Amino acid sequence: MLAFAFKRFLGAWPTLLILATLAFVLVRAAPGGPFDVEKSLPPEIQANLDRQYHLDEPLAKQYGRFLAGLAQGDLGPSFQYKDYTVNELIATGFPVSLRLGALAMGVALLLGLSLGVIAALRQNTFTDYAVMATAMTGISIPNFVMAPLLILLFAVALNWLPAGGWEGGHWKHTLLPVIALSLPQVAYIARLTRGSMLEVLRSNFIRTARAKGVPERWVILRHALRPALLPVVSYLGPATAAIVTGSVVVEQIFGIPGLGRYFVQGALNRDYTLVMGVVVFYGALIVAFNLLVDLIYAWLDPRIRY
Amino acid sequence: MSSVENIQTMNAATPGRGLWHDAWLRLIRNRAAVSGAVILGFMALLVIVGPYLSPYAFDHIDWEHISTPPDLASGHVFGTDAVGRDLFVRTLYGGRLSLAVGLAATLVSLFIGVAYGATAGYLGGRTDSVMMRIVDILYAMPFMFFVILLMVFFGRSLVLIFVAIGAINWLDMARIVRGQTLSLKQKEFIESARACGVGSAGIIARHIVPNLLGVVIVYVTLTIPQVILVESFLSFLGLGVQEPYTSWGALVNEGAQGMESAPWSLMFPAVFLAATLFCLNFIGDGLRDALDPQDR
Amino acid sequence: MTAPLLNVDALSVHFATADGELCAVDGVSFAISKGETLGIVGESGSGKSQTVLALLGLLSANGRASGRAVFNGRDLLDLPIRDLNQVRGKEVSMIFQDPMTSLNPYLSIATQMTEVLALHQRLGRSAARAQALQMLAAVGIAAPERRIDQYPHEFSGGMRQRVMIAMALLCDPHLLIADEPTTALDVTVQAQTVGLMRELQTQRDTAIILITHDLGVVAGLCDRIAVMYAGRIVETGPVDAMFSDPQHPYTRGLLTSVPRLDEITGERLATIPGNPPAITQRPRGCAYRDRCAYAFAACAEHPPPLQTVINGRAKACHLEVLP
């Protein structure tokens, strides 16, 4: 198991390198520099700026500098927020996004798994149909549609909850964003769990367990749950990516000062280093999460470990 | 009873057609999928024909009706937006774009994914493992962010949206197609084709691709809603199509900004978008159940 | 003779499908005494597996069993699930056809074996483990102390089937149901498995119901056989008598289609023409009619009942004597 973990750990590095390189190439391939938007600057100021941000060096050297910075965890200065480094901006925005994302993921797993299992155990009953219909709704209504609808209902019409803002993560301000962010994932996970649970319950080894006289409750908990969870575990990687992506719009809609909002602002302002930094940061996060998922999977499935 | 007999005699006579016939029977018995298809067809028709039925152009500004609620008398059946453009026509125009992007980008990803996956699965061995390792690495990339980067750096163009979205979704397709190809490769009819001297390209084109059809059809129907979702997401962020053109995502964004005073400008595009996704997902589910009945 | 251990009377199994209700087992009756081995023989689709699955309530969700199956004075088909769970694995055990998928791949052999003992004999962890080790050794698994903590994928097919047998015998059941235990195995491993089952049976006096389509296995292991065709028993009797003098045309067809090493004749091996009728299209009269060389008018009228021929033997055929 340890050897397996180490191998997977090593395997994550090329992915990270490719990620960083891709981000670098994209940014450098972009037409125009970061300061082109403003009125054309006098040549000497332009040269000064270029020197300050090392834009006058050959590309290879810039790439080396970028990688060296990354190795030390330094993402460079922001082009737009002149007095801040990208690291500082991430440090302000990420805790907010993390809290939102972690809550959404928790809700998605808790609700998705239980609904999926319940639907599978009551296959073709009213409960099953109700859960599946709800899941279909969750999948078909994107979170950027769900979010305004929630605001319209709970903030504008009923006036129960605030329409936006963060206030340090007070529950009144987190509730609606978390619902909007987690609902599609609840739906996906519920459908996935139901499907895999049904498949597992049809398998031969479940019949064996029943033939041994194991009570149904234990058949589910001890024999069926673990294999039924495996597809959900594999889905955790894509789910993280989806929640990170979703948080970009949800933060935008609810006016939450998270990393996603910085990203969109940075993108609209052509803040190259900030945008690149966020992409690399989130990319690394997703890679790390995928690694974790691989390890959980191996822990659950004895056939993978060796 | 007689229908069962028919299927069985058919199975005996033409196994290939019988299988599809069987799947078809299962599909049309699925009420959700059939109503999804009917509603989707109706919406597609509306989106194509509808704009001609309205006296307003999609970029026409009606200075007398700015931000008015739905009203039959003025001809603005869905109301107007904040600058006085007719929402009925704009919603349908947005639908044209969303559906077109959905179809086109899915075709792009279909083409790349099937070619890549079938090649990797068919060639197998080291080529396969290298090709799939590349897919694994790409899979771990936060693609939505790269697409946003692309949009920011290279400007917003429709072509770029097609390509960018198509380029994301081929990964899943490649994986599925590869897996199917691997299992198909071991089947006898491939062996016999090889024994008859058919080359690799011929085998892929003639034997493997047609046999992948079922899986691919299901996957395509499930990809279209995903693509529409991505396009709407980008448009919602203001990174998709540009004014005066529009798409459902862009309309939802505009609607959300003025939803307190003009909720209709949010509701109509939101309902159209969600209904389309509903229908496509139901059809996809129905197709999967029909083609892979043990899954029920 | 004492009362039989298990007495099955008019057992039928129906499945509700999208195409209507299908009848997989149609009024099957048989009995088995303590220490006896009954072989149930038939082609795939003849209903033999569904018959035994129904006994332990293991039919798939759309299946329904009717009739009676009295085991030690209780009707298994009528038992509440709580009581049935006390019978399953303890008094009646089952071995399945495919040892590759019948063991849980996610749990160690130790977990899967001790679970049975914890359930039925309330044994503690170490006692259960000791007994499981003993049983693994008894079925011929080398180095059980090491093997017991491994997972099923680390065992070969034959070894897995041995584990299945060990697991089934843990609680010393009165009746062991083996559903094609050797079908998925290599020929040499098949022979070993049959040998093992025979050995364990003589030691423990367990009754065995053996489902198979392999007449060689039947000859090596069984006291009596019941031949099933299209959901019904067509002939039953002691194995020697059935093999030397089959009374039903289908039984005779089965026997002559087996290659024999002791009578090399140079002739083509006999086969039964045609296929069994599909479960959706069983004819009104005798189901074997279309493939039978001796069919006459009565065979199309109504299905022949299972009737005693001479003591201990019965057949379901309209012919008085097979020509």
Torsion, Cα C51 C250 C209 C17, to 10 degrees, reads: -20
Distance of CA C214 to the CA centre of its chain: 11
- Residue-level pLDDT at B13: 36
**Is B3's pLDDT higher than 50?**
no
Range with the lowest mean pLDDT among A108-122, A263-277, C197-211? Answer: A263-277
Q: What is the DSSP letter of B61?
A: B
- Residue-level pLDDT at C290: 79
Tens of pLDDT, residue by residue over B224-246, are 888 888 888 888 877 777 777 78
**Is A160's pLDDT higher than 90?**
no
Distance of CA C234 to the CA centre of its chain: 16
| Residues sharing a CB contact under 8 Å with residue B285, sequence separation 6 or more, in sequence order | B32, B33
Residue recorded with tokens 């035994």: C52
- Residue-level pLDDT at A116: 92
Please judge whether C19 and B8 are an interchain contact, meaning their C-beta atoms are less than 8 angstroms apart: no
Distance between CA atoms of residues B6 and B12, nearest Å: 10
| Residues sharing a CB contact under 8 Å with residue C110, sequence separation 6 or more, in sequence order | C129, C132, C148, C149
Range with the lowest mean pLDDT among A238-252, B218-232, C2-16, C282-296? Answer: C282-296
- Residue-level pLDDT at B244: 74
Please judge whether B140 and A237 are an interchain contact, meaning their C-beta atoms are less than 8 angstroms apart: yes
**Is B12's pLDDT higher than 80?**
no
CA nearest to B93, candidates B235, B242, B243, B247 = B247
Kindly report the CA angle at A200 between B7 and B213, in degrees rounded to 5?
45
- Higher pLDDT among residues C92 and A2, named by residue: C92
CA nearest to A11, candidates A300, A303, A298 = A298
**Is C26's pLDDT higher than 90?**
no
- Higher pLDDT among residues C127 and B296, named by residue: C127
Give the confidence band of C263 by pLDDT, cuts at 50, 70, 90: low
Q: Report the residue from B238, B266, B278 with minimal CB separation from A136.
A: B278
Q: List the beta bridge partners of residue C66.
A: C12
Q: Calculate mean pLDDT across residues B129-142.
A: 78
Please judge whether C115 and A216 are an interchain contact, meaning their C-beta atoms are less than 8 angstroms apart: no
CA nearest to B161, candidates B106, B116, B119 = B106
Concatenating the DSSP letter of every residue in A98-151 gives HHHHHHHHHHHHHHHHHHHHHHHHTTTSHHHHHHHHHHHHHHHS-HHHHHHHHI
Q: Which residues of B touch A (CB under 8 A)?
A: 137, 139-142, 144-146, 148-154, 225, 229, 232-233, 236-239, 249, 252-253, 255-256, 259-260, 263, 266, 270, 273-274, 277-278, 281-282, 295
Range with the lowest mean pLDDT among B200-209, C50-59, C106-115, C231-240? Answer: B200-209
- Give C281's contacts in chain B (Cβ within 8 Å): 5, 8
- Residue-level pLDDT at C315: 83
What rounded mean pLDDT belongs to chain B? 75
- Residue-level pLDDT at C72: 87
Q: Calculate mean pLDDT across residues A249-267.
A: 84
Amino acid at C188: T
Cβ count near B174 (within 10 Å): 27
Give the confidence band of B18 by pLDDT, cuts at 50, 70, 90: low
Give SS3 for B16: helix
- Whether C20 and chain B come into contact, CB under 8 Å, resolves to yes
Please judge whether B266 and A237 are an interchain contact, meaning their C-beta atoms are less than 8 angstroms apart: no
CA distance A114 to chain C (A): 21
Concatenating the DSSP letter of every residue in C16-69 gives EETTEEEEEEEEEEEEE-TT-EEEEE--TTSSHHHHHHHHTT---TTEEEEEEE
Please judge whether B153 and A253 are an interchain contact, meaning their C-beta atoms are less than 8 angstroms apart: no
Please judge whether A145 and B273 are an interchain contact, meaning their C-beta atoms are less than 8 angstroms apart: yes
Mutate which of B4, B11, B27 to disrupt the C interface (most C C-beta within 10 Å)?
B4
CA distance A118 to chain C (A): 16
Please judge whether A222 and C101 are an interchain contact, meaning their C-beta atoms are less than 8 angstroms apart: no
Distance between CA atoms of residues A23 and A25, nearest Å: 6
**Is A110's pLDDT higher than 90?**
yes
- Residue-level pLDDT at B6: 34
Tell me which chain A residue has its CA closest to the CA of residue B282. A136
Whether cis (ω within 30° of 0) applies to the bond prior to C152 is no
**Is B21's pLDDT higher than 90?**
no
Q: CB of B89 within 8 A of CB of B58?
A: yes
Tens of pLDDT, residue by residue over C54-97, are 999 888 888 888 888 898 888 888 888 888 888 898 889 998 88
CA nearest to B77, candidates B63, B59, B65 = B65
Measuring CA to CA, how many Å separate A66 from each of A23, A62, A134, B183, C221?
11, 6, 47, 45, 76
- Higher pLDDT among residues B66 and A172, named by residue: A172
Cβ count near B172 (within 10 Å): 19
Please judge whether B145 and A279 are an interchain contact, meaning their C-beta atoms are less than 8 angstroms apart: yes
Amino acid at A157: A
Burial of residue B248 (number of CB atoms within 10 Å: 0-12, 13-18, 19+): buried
Distance of CA B30 to the CA centre of its chain: 20
Check residue B176 and give left, alpha or beta (phi > 0: left; psi -120 to 50: alpha).
alpha
- Neighbours, chain B (3 or more CB pairs < 8 A): A, C
Please judge whether A213 and C61 are an interchain contact, meaning their C-beta atoms are less than 8 angstroms apart: no
Give the confidence band of C261 by pLDDT, cuts at 50, 70, 90: low
Distance between CA atoms of residues B282 and A278, nearest Å: 36
Q: List the beta bridge partners of residue A268.
A: none
Give the confidence band of C143 by pLDDT, cuts at 50, 70, 90: confident
Q: CB of B32 within 8 A of CB of B279?
A: no
| Residues sharing a CB contact under 8 Å with residue C217, sequence separation 6 or more, in sequence order | C39, C182, C190, C194, C210
- Residue-level pLDDT at B207: 67
Range with the lowest mean pLDDT among A53-57, A223-227, B247-251, C172-176? Answer: A53-57
Measuring CA to CA, how many Å separate B178 from each of A56, B106, B191?
46, 18, 18
CA distance B10 to chain C (A): 14
User: What are the backbone dihedrals phi and psi of residue A31, each rounded to the nearest 5 degrees, phi first?
Assistant: -65, 135
Please judge whether A145 and B282 are an interchain contact, meaning their C-beta atoms are less than 8 angstroms apart: no
Q: Calculate mean pLDDT across residues A150-169.
A: 79
Please judge whether A222 and C61 are an interchain contact, meaning their C-beta atoms are less than 8 angstroms apart: no
Mutate which of C104, C115, C163, C209 to disrupt the A interface (most A C-beta within 10 Å)?
C104
Give, for B175, the enclosing helix (H) or strand (E): helix B158-185
- Residue-level pLDDT at A117: 92
Angle between helices A225-254 and A272-300 (to 10 degrees): 160
Q: Report the residue from B150, B225, B253 with minimal CB separation from A26.
A: B150
Q: Report the residue from C18, C20, C278 with minimal CB separation from B8.
A: C278
Distance between CA atoms of residues C293 and C29, nearest Å: 27
Tell me which chain C residue has its CA closest to the CA of residue B293. C18
What ipTM does this complex have?
0.86
CA Rg value for chain B = 23
Amino acid at B143: F
Please judge whether B266 and A18 are an interchain contact, meaning their C-beta atoms are less than 8 angstroms apart: no
Q: What is the DSSP letter of C88?
A: B
Report which listed range, A7-11, A228-232, C311-315, is most confident.
Answer: A228-232
- Residue-level pLDDT at B9: 34
Distance between CA atoms of residues B68 and B74, nearest Å: 10
- Higher pLDDT among residues B264 and A219, named by residue: A219
Task: Count Cβ–Cβ pairs < 8 Å, chain B vs chain C.
Answer: 13
Concatenating the DSSP letter of every residue in C119-139 gives HHH---HHHHHHHHHHHHHHT
Q: Calculate mean pLDDT across residues B23-36.
A: 80
Tens of pLDDT, residue by residue over B263-277, are 777 888 888 888 888
Angle between helices B248-257 and B87-123 (to 10 degrees): 130
Q: Report the residue from B1, B8, B29 with minimal CB separation from C20.
A: B1
- Residue-level pLDDT at A108: 92
Q: Within chain C, where are the H helices?
A: 48-55, 81-87, 99-102, 109-121, 125-138, 144-147, 157-169, 187-204, 215-221, 239-244, 249-256, 297-301
Please judge whether B5 and C20 are an interchain contact, meaning their C-beta atoms are less than 8 angstroms apart: no
Q: List the beta bridge partners of residue C227.
A: C41, C235
- Residue-level pLDDT at B2: 33
Distance between CA atoms of residues C108 and C285, nearest Å: 51
User: What are the backbone dihedrals phi and psi of residue C107, each rounded to the nearest 5 degrees, phi first?
Assistant: -120, 145
Length of chain C, in residues: 323
Give, for C6, the enclosing helix (H) or strand (E): strand C6-17
Q: CB of A253 within 8 A of CB of A246?
A: no
Q: Calculate mean pLDDT across residues A118-143.
A: 87
Tell me which chain A residue has its CA closest to the CA of residue B228. A142
Q: Calculate mean pLDDT across residues A172-200.
A: 89
Q: CB of B265 within 8 A of CB of B255?
A: yes
- Give B151's contacts in chain A (Cβ within 8 Å): 267
Range with the lowest mean pLDDT among A295-299, B198-202, C174-178, C257-261? Answer: C257-261
Q: Which two tokens stand for residue B276?
A: 């389309």
Q: CB of C62 within 8 A of CB of C245?
A: no
Q: CB of C96 within 8 A of CB of A203?
A: no
- Residue-level pLDDT at B15: 42
Q: Report the residue from A18, A249, A276 with minimal CB separation from B237.
A: A249
Distance between CA atoms of residues B204 and B122, nearest Å: 7
Range with the lowest mean pLDDT among A2-16, A61-75, C107-121, C272-286? Answer: C272-286
Concatenating the DSSP letter of every residue in chain A gives -HHHHHHHHHHHHHHHHHHHHHHHHHHHHSSS-TTSSSSPPPHHHHHHHHHHTTTTS-HHHHHHHHHHHHHTT---B-SSSTT-BHHHHHHHHHHHHHHHHHHHHHHHHHHHHHHHHHHHHTTTSHHHHHHHHHHHHHHHS-HHHHHHHHIIIIIIIS--S-SS--GGG-HHHHHHHHHHHHHHHHHHHHHHHHHHHHHHHTSHHHHHHHHTT--HHHIIIIIIHHHHHHHHHHHHHHHHHHHHHHHHHHHHHHT--SHHHHHHHHHHTT-HHHHHHHHHHHHHHHHHHHHHHHHHHHHH-TTT--
Q: What is the DSSP letter of C176?
A: E
Tell me which chain A residue has its CA closest to the CA of residue B137. A15
Give the confidence band of B14 by pLDDT, cuts at 50, 70, 90: very low
Tens of pLDDT, residue by residue over C195-222, are 888 887 888 888 999 998 888 888 878 8
CA distance B130 to chain C (A): 27
Residue recorded with tokens 């012919």: C319
Q: Which residues of A touch C (CB under 8 A)?
A: 123, 202-205, 207-216, 222-223, 226-227, 300-303
- Give B225's contacts in chain A (Cβ within 8 Å): 140
Q: Report the residue from A248, A253, A263 with minimal CB separation from B256.
A: A253
**Is C157's pLDDT higher than 60?**
yes
Q: Report the residue from B3, B5, B29 with minimal CB separation from C281.
A: B5
Give the confidence band of C2 by pLDDT, cuts at 50, 70, 90: low
**Is B11's pLDDT higher than 60?**
no
Give the confidence band of A189 by pLDDT, cuts at 50, 70, 90: very high
| Residues sharing a CB contact under 8 Å with residue A198, sequence separation 6 or more, in sequence order | A120, A123
- Higher pLDDT among residues C203 and B14, named by residue: C203
